[in-house]
Structure 1
Amino acid sequence: MTSLRGFAVVDTETTGIRPGYRHRIAEIAVVHVDFSGEVTDEWSTLVNPDRDLGPQAIHGIRAAEVRRAPKFEQFAGDVLELFRGRVPVAHNLPFDAMHLRAEFARLDVDLSRYLSGGVCTMRLAGDVFPGMRRSLVECCKAVGVDGVRFHTALGDALATAQLFGRLVEGAPDLASFRLRGLPDVYGDLPSMPQGLVKPVHRQAAGHAEPHFLARLVDRVPREGKPEVDAYLAVLDRALLDRQISVSEADALIDVAHDLGLHKAEVIQLHHGYLRSLAQAAWADGHVSVGERRDLEAVAALLGLVADEVDLVLREEQPTRVERSRSQVVEVNIGGLVLRPGDRIVLTGTMRRQRGELTAEALALGLQVISSVSRKTRVVAAADPDSLSGKAKDARALGVPVVTEDAFVRALDAMKR
């Protein structure tokens, strides 16, 4: 039997409340604390939950981050080793234990007995300070723990570790009584492969992904001129919501490499794309303020300098004779346009209620369906890099995945 070596403080961020509703762990942290209450080690990683991320406004995790993170089964052995010989500690232990049991159960590992021997700091805080509020933030405030980043797995685990130390220090007899009553199950854990993957952490606040053009290299020799329709088709889909997600950037890079396009050739395609939008903007004889802003937004997304917009607008401006012949009509130079009868799919936890968006779409004559097919016009997602099954199906079928904001703008346009 492995001797007791200390405590393993654990925290998880999840896609929702109940594993029974197919919710998964999206981030996990384990912090080691010795018997004197000192933090001796910390470990954390984002987790690819293979589904949408649920309430992102709460945990703040983006799909662009977790899509490159390992899946739980790839580091489960590391977690078991972090637990081995240590008492599990968590704030609201039943919640974290519920999700940990579910994740390990998918791997045919029963962690129930081990987790039953844990300490819940929420319960312990209530025993030490009767009437104390339940939340980790309030408990930490009450005992003077500050300077932590709450609502991240590592931040909450470190805060819980400090809270645990203060509670034990403030009521050693009660804490000792609690620990003596725990079952001796800390070495009773199976072994699984370790070190298979490296942890992936959250990106720093304000982090910006490098422009996808920076990831294209002039390294693919070829003869002749390739067909570029495939690249432009992906670009059309990516720019529907006037945002290029990480998933779309990856798709553009893959297509460019498959075609053997050099970086300089891709930039030339981008210039031509912007020029075609400028031609469309001039079709009614004038360029509105909104059209110009749209051109500037597209230029920035394509990695073109702002002066390029002025240049193409000057070069594509029709002559006086051409303007006199043009009809004054509204021309949409790009972006998402929805029409009655279009099939749309919603995915993820959006800022607006799903029922509200659905009712508005139905009232405008759109068809709101639950599954994606080739006839689907767009999938509107809470996160454009969503890992939901609907978003995955859309990318496989070439159906655009757009942001909630772009979808709402398109609904507003249908009302005019």
Structure 2
Amino acid sequence: MVDVETTGLRSSDRIVSVAVEVLDRHGTVTDRWSTLVDPGRDPGPVHIHGLTAERLAGAPTFDRVAEDLAEYLAGRVFVAHNAPFDWQMLTSEYRRLGTAWPMERRLCTMALARHLELPVGDYRLATLAEHYRVRQLRAHDAVDDVRVLSEIFRYGLHEAAGAGLPLPLTAPGDEPGQRRAAVARGRNAERGTPAKAPCPWVNPGRLDLGVGLVQGMRVVFTGETDRPRERLELRAIEAGLYVTGAVSGKTSVLVTNDPRSGSGKNRRAAQAGTPVIDEATFVELVARVRPGTARVGVVPAPRGEGGPAVDAGGPVVVPERTEAGAAFDPARAAAVPTRAGAAPDPARAATVPATAPDAPRAGARAAVRQVLVLQGHDEHLDGGRVRQLVLESGARLRINLTSTVDTVVVLPGAAADPRIARAEAFGAVCLTEAEWSASVSGTPTAPATPGRPDTGHLPRGGTVELPGGAHPGRWTLNASWAWDRPDEEIDIVAFLLDEHERVRGDADFVFWNQPAAPLDLVVLDASGPAEQTVTLELDALPRDVRRVVIAAAVDGTSTFDAVGPIELDVAPFQGTAFRRSVLDAATVERVLLLGAFYRLGTGWKFRTEGQGYEFDLAGLAASFGVDIA
């Protein structure tokens, strides 16, 4: 858990204080560390963080604390509220020193709260603290903020587990372009699977079903699974198999429940002649993996009955039950001493509720119907048509299956989809299209969820005026898609355009290798493994920037028919969704215009686009005047 206070909001600003809490897999705070930092300049917004030049006098400069801080961070998952900001400020400090940034994975509690769709008016730390009844003693004090962060994070972990939500883990790297490098190493880090060490076993080659799995075999997973993907991968690793994120000539076996999906991994497996098995076969085989041949110079760890313990470099794990049948107790965990011989912190223990607050929880049924549409591989257009009918009915369309889904519409080609059984286990009703139509005939639109502003659906081509007139402030567009599609990477990009619909220069093209416009006025960041966010400082954009167009592009040879629907959430910064859109039924397109923020008179508006093109991202960038070398 990390929180920083700074001299400002730009990457060129400096840190004035930093606080860290280390949590183990049970959610227990095992260590704490904090320090003031002399920024070597004016401390900036003293009215916010309260750190005057006098208070910072004599504090160490960042170069004197960087090594100590790195010891707390190395090999762990970075968790913060509005994590991209804290991550950016810290990586900038380490970059100035020419020192390696010691972390690879990140989780944002603001993104987690958005996934949980908590019944709150915004996702600020103070609002979430009030929701969870965690007492905030000193807002914008790094030590107190990180304490509050730890408590709301543990509640969020429980709710995510109950709702069947994967954690929004990302592997963004510390330099522009490193997000793509992290993805190229496989998406396991983003989904939260254990960090991979070199496999201690020689790769014995491809799977022979007559022999079975052998330690050292390279295993790749793709598509929807009945069991959590992380659990399957962990079982493979514990058995001595090597889990990778891409199919190659060295892959021993591909595990998929749908070998006809046409995904990139399935296509590459067919080209390479890689054996393909389903999940049930894998579970049967992994229970009796044959011993492998140890690699020279690598000593395999002993295989205990329960498998190796996950160290600090492993995944974020939902806090376990502490006793048989007893639920995890946040108050009890909070009172555990942080160092040997250290006394519990009574102020901390007193502020943590022993039981969960009475506020609505993720996973509870909402007043508005939550509908997921399942389709077969040849039913893309039918799926888009039914999803449009769902939206017109006033229901909330979902693009992923969680326990918040109460209705699943199953098209004929999806009759064998494994998600049907999972949905029924959640208590959802599964209907045919005809049954769905009958169920909504004459049904009035349900009211908005209490405690949340009314979020209207914005159809393709729809526009909405942003509140605030000439000063709308900071806004975000969050784009998300199905967790298991596609195998190729999806890139969200932004173009700052003038009155001639052209960029003023290449710096106005924001993409994975240049994730921020000058002065951080438009910033791109990965919010999770299947979502990305663009943050815009609309008040500060130069007057000659008339529109900011945001688009999506599929990397590799895939097209948007493999992606399915893309959901857009447009919201004020740290706020709940102001408008939502679902763009659907794209087929052979490789780039898709999502939406645009644009000036109209003295104010700003947003328009949902949905126009797709068969050319690639380079073609789209060139059409807006970007010089593609």
The reply to whether TM is greater than 0.5 is: no
**Shorter-chain TM-score range:** 0.3 to 0.5
Structure 2 length-normalised TM: 0.27
TM-score, with length taken from structure 1 = 0.40
The one of the two structures with greater contact order (alpha-carbon pairs below 8 A, sep at least 6) is 1
More strand by share: 2
Name the one with the larger helix percent.
1
